[in-house]
Structures are given as C-alpha cells and as structure tokens.
Structure 1
Amino acid sequence: MSVKENLDEIQDRVIRSAEKFGHSWEDIHLVAVTKFVDEDRILQALDWGVKEVGENQVQEIERKMEIFQGAQVHMIGQLQSNKVRKLTHGVALIQSIDRKSLLKEINRIGQRENMIFKGLIQVNNAKEEGKGGVYKEDLPELLDYVESLDHVHIEGLMNIAPFLDDPEEVRPYFRDMRNLFEKISQISYNQIKMNILSMGMTHDYEVALEEGANMVRIGRAIFGERDYSK
C-alpha cells in the first residue's frame, strides 16, 4: 500500500478508536515517526497532511530538517544532555524528558539562547528495565523540580507501553497513565500543563486512543517496514 493509503486507513482507525473515549479526529495529534524512512515517503506523508513528525536521534533531526518542510518536529528518543544544544532550532517538543540532569541542561540552554523548551515527561509505569522514563513514585519530585525552572514548559506526559503480542494486555498501563494525567491536571502548577497525553504506537495505538491518548506516534503503519541496514 502507498503512504497515502496507509494514512487513509489509519485516519479511519483513529477516528473510530478516539470516539470511544469522546475525542474527535481534530483532538488527536498524529506524529509520523520517520526513523530510517526515505525522503520520498516522508514527503508523501507531508503531502497527505501530516503536520507533526518524530525522530529518535538528534543527528537525524538535523539531517532531515529541510525535508520536514515546516512540520512540527518532535524528539521522541532518549536524549543525552550533551545533545540538547543541537535542538535549539526547529524542535517543537521533547517527548522523552525523564530526569533532573536533563531538565537542568535543557533549562541552561534555554537561558543561554533566550528560548523556552516545551516537553513531555516520559513515565515508565511498567518499570521496564533498559527503557527510559521516570517511575511513578519519583514523578512528583521531578515535577516540583520543573517548577524551579524558567525556560522549560511541560505540556503533558509520554508513555511507551510494554510490547506484548496482544495489545489488549497493555490496556491497564494506558488506563493507569490516563488516571495519572488527570490527577496531575488537578494540581496548580506554573510551568506544567496537562495538554498532551502521548501514548500508543503502530502496535497498540487503537487501545491507547480508547483509553484517552490525544497523541500517537506511528511509524511502520504509515511507512511500512524500515530498512535498518541504513
């Protein structure tokens, strides 16, 4: 199938799944994950109407920035503190903020460049080893630390659920994230707003939408299998 055909099908699935929670298509941010995707297929997605793209590596964001043609660019992979300085031009959202040291460096670069970084706090509510994200019990302390910073705005939460054969089995993790999202929404912060709940990828985005996600990160379902040899 072509990229356009894939996106048409995804749009239908997103609409059906989001409506089960009470969201409409207009409420949903579709982030096209362009890792290892050729330029022509990225351009097909942009021509279809994709407005947000996500990359896992800083160097790929730098390399593809002209290709993205003004689409909002998201950093969705684990971010090393020494790479923050390379994200000062054209990155709309850092989705993988999960520790004080990273926040400190983001704020320092923001002060230096006189800019506000927007980001999401990545939460590892399944406590999977080797995967980024702050544990739930450590989240309040991290949010309090954000409040001490003046060049970082947190827009919501991000989650990568465990990869299980049956997406239904990850539903409790998505539901738990939604409850956490709503709980934080009730707290009055200055630098933190719960506008975005980013969860769900190709394998499980429909379940995530049914549980209240308003941002999904989809790569393979849009672009097909990637050529990792590149």
Structure 2
Amino acid sequence: MDYETRLQEIRAEIAGACLRVGRDPEDVRIVAVTKYIDTEQTENVVRAGLTDLGENRLQVALPKMEGMAADVQERVRWHYIGNLQTKKVKDVLPRFDWIHSVDRLSLAEEIQKRAAAIGRPIPCLVQVNVSGEESKSGFAPGEVPAFLQAAREMDFVEIRGFMTMAPVSQDPEEARPVFRGLRELRDEMIARGLLPQTSRELSMGMSGDYVVAVEEGATMVRLGSVLVK
C-alpha cells in the first residue's frame, strides 16, 4: 500500500468537502484506525504523515506500541476508540492520549480516579447514540446534559466534545442526519453553558461516510479500510 498517495487522495476529498461548506481543512484531523494492520505497516502509516492512531482493543494495540521504532512512537497520539470496560481503564489510560468512548457515568468516574492517580488529565469525548440504535453504545441525546453537569466535578476528565457512530449503510447520505444531530447537540450544550466554548471536537465519520461527516462539522474522522487496506 502506498500510504502517502492514498493520504493525499483522502486529504483532497476532505479539502473539497470543506470548500463546499466554508471550513478550513486544517480543522479536520484524520485518526488512522490501525487494528487490521501489523506493526511495520503502522509505522509506514506514521511515516506517511498520520500521527493520530486509533485502536479499539488494548491487546491489539500493545504489540504495536511496544514494537515500534522509538523515533516513530514518539510522534504518535494514541486514540482509544472502542467500548471501554471499567476494569480496563487502569491499563488503558497510561498508554492512550485520548478516549473517544465515554458512554456512562461510571466509566467517567473510573477515568477520573485512575487519571488522578497518574497525575494526567485525560482528553475525553462523550459517546452519543444519536441514531437510537439498540446495538450502539452511548448516551441518548436527552441524557447528555445531566452527564455534563456531573462531569464538571471531575477535574481529570477533560470533556473535549462528542463522538458518534452512524448506522451502517451503502448510502453515505443516510448518515447525514446523525452527524448533523451531533453537531447541533454540541452547539446547544455550548449555548447552555454545559460545555466550554473550546470543547468543540466532533469525532464522527468512518471510511464509508467521512466526506458527509466533514460537511456536517466533523473535526476527527476515523479511517480504517479506506486508508490502510
């Protein structure tokens, strides 16, 4: 795989989406989902210019974290993008820079406890189940205000914004209402003073629908198969 060429193509698509809606492409971060590739391939992704890497299982990420060349590893920001079990928090936090999937109060409380123990506030995204699918984790939109109120007391849980997953579909346009709903929820929470003005991150959009996600305001897109296969 020529990762540099593929990355140029993806960035061109993101730039086009931004142009259509009056956004700056620099405001969109690509998180490369590396769960299906090995350590050498992951190093090549980083050398191609992507330093934000997403993994959803610690046991899959660890060999890469431990096997990467030091000069590559020091450039990487690791994003935990999968469902996080409370009992795994103590192992995940020392190794990851971002948590994308805070989907319940008990998890935030555990992150607060463990982050305080290591002395490092953790940037977190609140996972919202905008689509309402039973198969997906996350707060219902109506539950978010109460959670944000509770999270204000957690000084080691830095709420930077929201994350969502759209329904799987062959038509990317079917994801648009979900992405728009997350952006509108973020804006409402900021307007109500429940979310800081600076907490504007929206992690939404994957390989099949990231262009639509960018048009609707995504600041992070999680790309796997479109990039690394």
TM-score normalised according to structure 1 size: 0.92
Q: Does the 8 Å contact 1:54/1:73 carry over to 2?
A: yes
**Amino acid aligned to 2:187:** E
Q: CA RMSD in A?
A: 1.7
Counterpart of 1:100 in structure 2 is 105
Residue of structure 2 equivalent to 1:227: none
Alignment of 1:3-82 (within 5 A): 3-66=3-66, 67=68, 69-70=73-74, 71-82=76-87
Q: Which amino acid aligns with 1:91?
A: F
Cα distance, 1:40 vs structure 2 = 2.4
Following superposition, the deviation at residue 148 of structure 1 comes to: 1.7
Once the two structures are superposed, what CA deviation does each residue of 1:32-86 show, in whole Å capped at 9, x if it has no partner? 0001212222122111110201001122232221426121000000000011101
Question: What SS is found at the alignment partner of 1:65?
Answer: helix
Aligned residue for 2:225?
220
Counterpart check, 1:197 vs 2:202:
yes
Could you list the runs of 5+ residues in structure 1 that have no partner in the other structure?
Answer: 225-230
Shift of residue 5 of structure 1? 2.0
Aligned counterpart, 2:88? 83
Please tell me the residue identity of whatever aligns with 1:138: E
Partners of 1:189 and 1:166 lie apart in 2 by: 34
Question: How far apart, CA to CA, are the structure 2 residues paired with 1:51 and 1:21?
Answer: 26
Deviation digits for residues 63-121 of structure 1 (CA, Å, limit 9, x no counterpart):
22142612100000000001110123241110000101101111111222222111000
Superposed displacement of residue 190, structure 1: 7.6
Give the superposition deviation at 1:189.
4.7
Alignment of 1:108-123 (within 5 A): 108-123=113-128
Distance in 1, Cα, partners of 2:101 & 2:18: 24
Give the SS at the match of 2:23.
Answer: coil
* Distance in 2 separating the partners of 1:72 and 1:202: 20
The number of residues matched between the two structures is 224
Contact 1:196–1:215 under 8 Å retained in 2: yes
Aligned partners of 2:148 and 2:195 also within 8 Å: no
Q: Give the secondary-structure state (helix, strand or coil) at the position aligned to 2:53.
A: strand
- Per-residue Cα deviation, 1:151-191 (whole angstroms, up to 9, x for no partner): 11100000101111111111111111111111112233587
Q: What residue number does 1:153 align with?
A: 158
**2: CA distance, partners of 1:191 / 1:180:** 13
Q: Distance in 1 between matches of 2:214 and 2:10?
A: 12
Q: Which residue of the partner structure matches residue 228 of structure 1?
A: none
Could you tell me which amino acid in structure 2 is paired with residue 202 of structure 1?
S
Distance, in Å, in 2 between the alignment partners of 1:61 and 1:86 is: 12
- CA change 1:94–1:43 in 2 (3 A) is same
**TM-score, with length taken from structure 2:** 0.92
Supply the AA of the counterpart residue of 1:24: D
Correspondence 1:209 to 2:214? yes
Bigger drift between 59-68 and 194-203 goes to: 59-68
Q: Quick one: distance in 2 between partners of 1:58 and 1:170?
A: 28
Deviation, 1:192, is 8.3
Q: Any unmatched runs of 5+ in structure 2? A: none
1:177 aligns with 2:195: no
Give the letter for the 2:120 counterpart: M
AA at the equivalent of 1:215 = M
